[in-house]
């Protein structure tokens, strides 16, 4: 990196952006640090700016006025709408893919076709616009089966249908003019069984480097029941991700994805997030995302030992080589506290107390998402409101700390799952020593 300090703008307003801001604020290279629009948590470590991410010209004007060297895009929608293209055209580095490369997340159908074309393992699927044809295919295939809205749906456009009837309802929901969440096309795909992981790779358009992995909990209810959400919690590292599996994921999924993007004239730069199902045959792609996950970013960044800023700059500038990301041998676990009514219509405006008391638990940080501040008090202002993230010697230790902190928070109108990390506990990480210290995707150091 250059000798002078790097001015950074992080775009987004969730707990992911709070985590990114905290990490960048500690960088030895940081100059001015802004988050737009941010939240009260972000404001404790950075300057928050009331910018609309949909107004690209205003974002660019701000970057030029403040001499921003790097923009880090948190959420997917600005990337799908081409914000990275506009920033690059204006001569501003952006850690995030162009509009064409972001189609990997922006269209489920595009991603499935891409996997088929470039030999990337994924489930069998069909694309539909006609609900009658979709239902005929579902009845022929039987259940369980998966129905996905084609476009962006904030983690809520997927139905894992256990019955044909449930799948048909999903078809009507996603394709009807009154209920369409994310476009007029759906993907109906084979139900995969196994263990799901979120795998992240740093990419500079040509080079890809394994970053880290996590397991999240999408369902709103304990026991993985209820509708999908944007994520109710996560932990890192998953015991299932061994050195051999990491190498296979890089070889069979990440490398051909970068190669395919280049062949299509859309080099991928930024964070490639592959949602994978792992079974005895190996990994298969469930979906691609094109940015840090939320709440996965919270637990991965909690374990990162490197200065993150050189890695982000390298992704954006096409200079990813040399320094590998290094991670603590410890574990991190995050629990999302959501407002009552989520993932439907969340209750807004309830006051949250004792956040500072929760953060007095060793190894815990309370990351703010959908919050607002009024006269020094914090209020819920959306669905996923707080992400309580804990660092511990293993997943069980981190989980104990996280829930001890949650029990101190005073927010009767909030709810959370009490079983985050259950897979890790079932794996009995402490006794099995499941984290291999030689994993190339996580250059692990002690402490």
Q: How many domains does the chain have?
A: 3
362-378 mean pLDDT: 97
Q: What is the CATH number of the domain that holds 166?
A: 3.30.1490.20
What's the pLDDT band for 155 if we cut at 50, 70, 90?
Answer: low
Determine what percent of the chain is predicted with pLDDT higher than 90: 86
Domain that holds residue 321: 195-445
Q: Considering the domain boundaries, does residue 27 fall inside one?
A: yes
Residues 50 and 141 in one domain: no
31-55 mean pLDDT: 98
Residues 227 and 375 in one domain: yes
**Cα 319 to Cα 84: distance, rounded to the nearest angstrom:** 17
Q: Considering the domain boundaries, does residue 105 fall inside one?
A: no
What is residue 154's predicted lDDT score, i.e. its pLDDT? Answer: 63
Q: Considering the domain boundaries, does residue 104 fall inside one?
A: no
What is residue 2's predicted lDDT score, i.e. its pLDDT? Answer: 53
**Cα 363 to Cα 16: distance, rounded to the nearest angstrom:** 18
What is residue 426's predicted lDDT score, i.e. its pLDDT? Answer: 78
Residues 364 and 387 in one domain: yes
Contact 39, 48 (CB under 8 A): yes
376-396 mean pLDDT: 97
Distance (Å) of CA 115 to CA 112, 204, 253, 305, 387: 5, 20, 9, 33, 33
**Domain final position from 53, 80, 99:** 99
What is residue 427's predicted lDDT score, i.e. its pLDDT? Answer: 72
Residues 160 and 26 in one domain: no
Per-residue pLDDT tens digits for 291-339: 999 999 999 999 999 999 999 999 999 999 877 899 999 999 999 999 9
What is residue 291's predicted lDDT score, i.e. its pLDDT? Answer: 96
**Cα 202 to Cα 72: distance, rounded to the nearest angstrom:** 13
Whether 198 shows a pLDDT value over 70: the answer reads yes
Q: What is the CATH number of the domain that holds 89?
A: 3.40.50.20
Higher per-residue confidence, 293 vs 177: 293
What is residue 227's predicted lDDT score, i.e. its pLDDT? Answer: 87
109-116 mean pLDDT: 95
Residues 176 and 213 in one domain: no
What is residue 217's predicted lDDT score, i.e. its pLDDT? Answer: 95
Whether 109 shows a pLDDT value over 60: the answer reads yes
**Cα 166 to Cα 52: distance, rounded to the nearest angstrom:** 37
What is residue 442's predicted lDDT score, i.e. its pLDDT? Answer: 53
For the chain, the average pLDDT equals 92
Residues 172 and 303 in one domain: no
87-113 mean pLDDT: 96
246-250 mean pLDDT: 97
Contact 42, 21 (CB under 8 A): yes
Q: Which of 150-159, 270-279, 367-376, 425-434 has the lowest mean pLDDT?
A: 425-434
């Amino acid at each position: 990196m250059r000798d002078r300090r790097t001015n950074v703008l992080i775009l987004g307003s969730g707990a992911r952006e709070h985590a990114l801001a905290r990490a960048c604020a500690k960088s030895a290279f940081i100059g001015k640090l802004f988050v737009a629009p941010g939240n009260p948590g972000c404001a404790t470590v950075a300057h928050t700016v009331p910018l609309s991410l949909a107004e690209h010209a205003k974002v660019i004007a701000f970057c030029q006025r403040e001499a921003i060297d790097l923009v880090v895009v948190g959420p997917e929608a600005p990337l799908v709408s081409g914000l990275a293209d506009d920033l690059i055209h204006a001569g501003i580095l952006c850690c995030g893919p162009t509009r064409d490369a972001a189609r990997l997340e922006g269209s489920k159908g595009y991603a499935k076709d891409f996997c088929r074309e470039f030999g990337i393992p994924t489930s069998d699927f069909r694309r539909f616009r006609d609900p009658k044809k979709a239902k005929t295919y579902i009845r022929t295939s039987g259940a369980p089966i998966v129905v996905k809205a084609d476009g962006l749906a904030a983690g809520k456009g997927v139905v894992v249908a256990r019955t044909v009837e449930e799948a048909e309802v999903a078809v009507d929901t996603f394709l009807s003019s009154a209920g369409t969440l994310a476009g007029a096309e759906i993907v109906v795909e084979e139900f995969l069984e196994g263990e799901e992981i979120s795998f992240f790779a740093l990419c500079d358009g040509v080079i890809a480097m394994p970053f880290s992995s996590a397991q999240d909990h999408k369902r709103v209810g304990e026991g993985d029941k209820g509708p999908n959400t944007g994520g109710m919690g996560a932990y890192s590292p998953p015991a299932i991700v061994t050195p051999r599996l990491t190498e296979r994921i890089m070889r069979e999924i990440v490398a051909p994805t970068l190669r395919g993007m280049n062949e299509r004239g859309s080099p991928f730069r930024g964070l490639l997030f592959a949602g994978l199902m792992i079974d005895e045959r190996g990994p298969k792609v469930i979906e691609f995302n094109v940015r840090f996950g939320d709440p996965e970013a919270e637990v991965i960044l909690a374990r990162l030992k490197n200065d993150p800023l050189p890695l982000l700059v390298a992704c954006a500038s096409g200079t990813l080589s040399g320094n590998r990301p290094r991670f603590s041998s410890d574990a991190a676990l995050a629990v999302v506290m959501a407002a009552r009514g989520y993932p439907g219509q969340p209750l807004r405006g309830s006051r949250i107390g004792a956040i500072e008391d929760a953060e007095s638990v060793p190894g815990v940080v309370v990351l703010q998402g959908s919050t607002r501040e009024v006269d020094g008090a914090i209020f819920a202002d959306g669905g996923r409101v707080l992400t309580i993230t804990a660092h511990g010697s293993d997943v069980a230790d981190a989980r104990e700390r996280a829930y001890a902190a949650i029990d101190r928070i005073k927010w009767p109108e909030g709810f959370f799952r009490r079983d985050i990390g259950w897979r890790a506990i079932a794996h009995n990480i402490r006794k099995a020593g499941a984290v291999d210290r030689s994993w190339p995707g996580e250059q692990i150091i002690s402490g």
